[in-house]
Amino acid sequence: MARIMAIDYGTKRCGIAVTDPLQTCAFGLDTVSPNDLLPFLKNYTSQEEVTHIVVGAPKQRDNTPSAVEIKITPFVAQLKTQLPEIDVVRYDERFTSKMAKQSLLMSGAPKKVRQKKEVIDKLSATLILQGYLDQQQKL
């Protein structure tokens, strides 16, 4: 079976998560800069079968798009053009960064680890992907 990927898109870093081949659980894969994201995805998908890429949809509390959406929308369009065989799905990512920070705190991760933005971005992507997987199981 193929994998599903998720992206927590940011202006400085993008967290990436992926499922196991059976699509049962999500785990953090990497963190890359937005400029390196598309080449990274092309390389990964040339080596691993991926059916879907879930891109976080950041929204404000009032359900309006977050400021970073201006950068995400063109990226999603480019992604669909560059990797047309892979379905691109948007998923509400509200509060995933806060949840990632809280998870690290509750897990007892050292302060140096909790302060690394790369760790938070990768964990946020994992939370986006796990939320998507959970939603699909309910359907």
CATH code of 38's domain: 3.30.420.140
**What are the pLDDT digits (tens) for 69-84?**
999 999 999 999 999 9
Containing structural domain, residue 79: 3-138
Residue 47 CB neighbour total at 10 angstroms: 7
CA 84/CA 135 separation, integer angstroms: 24
Q: How many domains does the chain have?
A: 1
Quick one: what percent of the chain has pLDDT higher than 90? 60
| Confidence check: pLDDT of 101 > 70 | no
Q: How much is the average pLDDT of 110-114? A: 58
pLDDT level of residue 96 (50, 70, 90 thresholds): low
| Confidence check: pLDDT of 30 > 60 | yes
| Confidence check: pLDDT of 68 > 60 | yes
Q: State the pLDDT at residue 99.
A: 60
Residues 6+ apart with CB under 8 A from 67: none
